[in-house]
Structure 1
Amino acid sequence: MRSAEDDLTARARIRNAALELFGAEGVSRVSLRAVAERAGVSHALVLHHFATKEGLRQACDDYVVSLVRGGPEADLGDTAGLAAMLEAGAAVRRYLARAFLDGTPQAAALFDEIVASTGQWLEQGVREGWAQPSEDPQARAAMYVTYLLAPLAFGEHLARVVGAADVHDMETLLRFSRAGIEIFTHGVFADERALNAWDAVRQERRSR
């Protein structure tokens, strides 16, 4: 008899296989039988856990959003948690890249959910004192997410500039993600002249 623990393990294995295949080939090109073969389970077991390909795709979306929301695998205050998220990241990033390239309504909903979750996380940081307040929290959350997802669109160029074969390679990821965290933590500009110039342009346009 199959135990509940076996079912959970099989479900995660199927989901991970789907993340890899959906990311590499796109949801429309991958069959449930192909996912079952990659996961090393029967087609019937995939149907048992997810019923349809849409159900499996939704499970992949839910998993990605859970990482953004700061689940156990995404605890940025814990070294082991951060390492686990980075290790899981290649399949997740490829899945996101394919989803956004496909431009489906599901991809749009996923992006909106990630922005909303990120906004909540940043506002929590403001309350707890580890994030700066923003004049426009919604726009900041959207820009933060867009920055994080930019390598998905510019991966080929980013890999070339940093001299890497694959932008999803762990060493490459560590290199550019460290640079990104440095920007968010310490900033780039040493004074406010750029921000003041932008505010002056906005004020001028508003006074016309």
Structure 2
Amino acid sequence: MTTANPDPEDLTARARIRDAALHHFGEHGFEGATTRAIAETAGVSPGLLRHHFGSKQALREACDAHLVKLITRINEQAHANTPADGVNHVAVSMATLGPYRRYLARALTEGRAEPVFDAMARMSEQWLGVLDETRSDPPFTDRKARATVGTAMALGVGILQEHISRALGVDASGEEGAHLLALTLLDLYSHPWISTEEAAAYRETLNGNRADGGATPPSAEEHSDE
């Protein structure tokens, strides 16, 4: 038995439905968005929406899968490029994910979009694995903890783009703004605000002030990811 090739128009309709869902979920949240309104925005019938996705939950999962695919592609490009290639990966990320900022902001603050956050955290762990090989001082916490918090911080830059643009006085999604943002992030990542000695002292204070008297947070040495 042979299976007919998918109708190209059906594939286009599926993408339109997904994009309409990303818009409605971003504007109204998962609970507030309706499949009828999503279908109307996509220019299809509710029946065709159900045919392609089955349910609103499955549609949300398709939205997350689409974003994971985009983020994975950006990450792979970053791995493939070197500084000599002259690629501004901040600009690439802003341009690619810019249309989905409202969806990400709404979904993440609702506790949704777990696959997107988890995929980004895994990618961060991979980057840290490379960086840890040349790190001279042992990390205070394990790689997963650092990747998780780092991912949240990175997402904040993209989601708060309007605030960043307002404070910087330049559109962070434009060429000039993306250049300034990339330089600023490069400076922040390459020049720590406190020395390793100061950080060690703060760590001693934090551990000494623990009210429960429990064990200190796991370090990378105690929980190696190798």
Partner of 1:163: 169
Partner of 1:138: 144
Specify the SS of the correspondent of 1:3: coil
Structure with more helix by fraction: 1
Q: TM-score, normalised by structure 2?
A: 0.66
Shift in alpha-carbon separation, 1:187–1:83, aligned structure 2, 3 A? closer
Give structure 2 stretches of 5+ with no counterpart: 82-86, 210-226
Residue 122 (1) aligns with residue 130 (2): no
AA at the equivalent of 2:98: A
**Alignment length (residue pairs):** 197
Partner of 1:113: 118
Q: Deviations over 1:136-195 (max 9, x none)?
A: 31222123211212236645532321225x76x4457624641355247x6124xx9522
Where do residues 3-42 of structure 1 align in structure 2 (5 Å cutoff)? 3-42=6-45
Post-superposition offset of 1:121: 3.2
AA at the equivalent of 1:95: Y
Give the Cα–Cα distance (whole angstroms) in 1 for the partners of residues 162 and 135 of structure 2. Answer: 33
Partner of 2:77: 75
| 8 A Cα contact 2:91 2:179, kept in partner | no
Partner of 2:202: 201
| 8 A Cα contact 1:23 1:91, kept in partner | no
Q: Deviations over 1:113-144 (max 9, x none)?
A: 245423443256459x8x86972312221232
| 8 A Cα contact 1:67 1:74, kept in partner | no
For the pair shown, the structure with the greater C-alpha radius of gyration is 2
Post-superposition offset of 1:97: 0.2
AA at the equivalent of 1:197: E
Partner of 2:182: 178
- Tell me the percent identity: 29
Query: Which fold has the larger relative contact order, with Cα–Cα distance below 8 Å and residues 6 or more apart in sequence?
Result: 2
Give the Cα–Cα distance (whole angstroms) in 2 for the partners of residues 97 and 201 of structure 1. Answer: 32
Partner of 1:64: 67
Shift in alpha-carbon separation, 1:162–1:11, aligned structure 2, 3 A? same
Give the Cα–Cα distance (whole angstroms) in 2 for the partners of residues 193 and 73 of structure 1. Answer: 29
Partner of 2:97: 89
Q: TM-score, normalised by structure 1?
A: 0.71
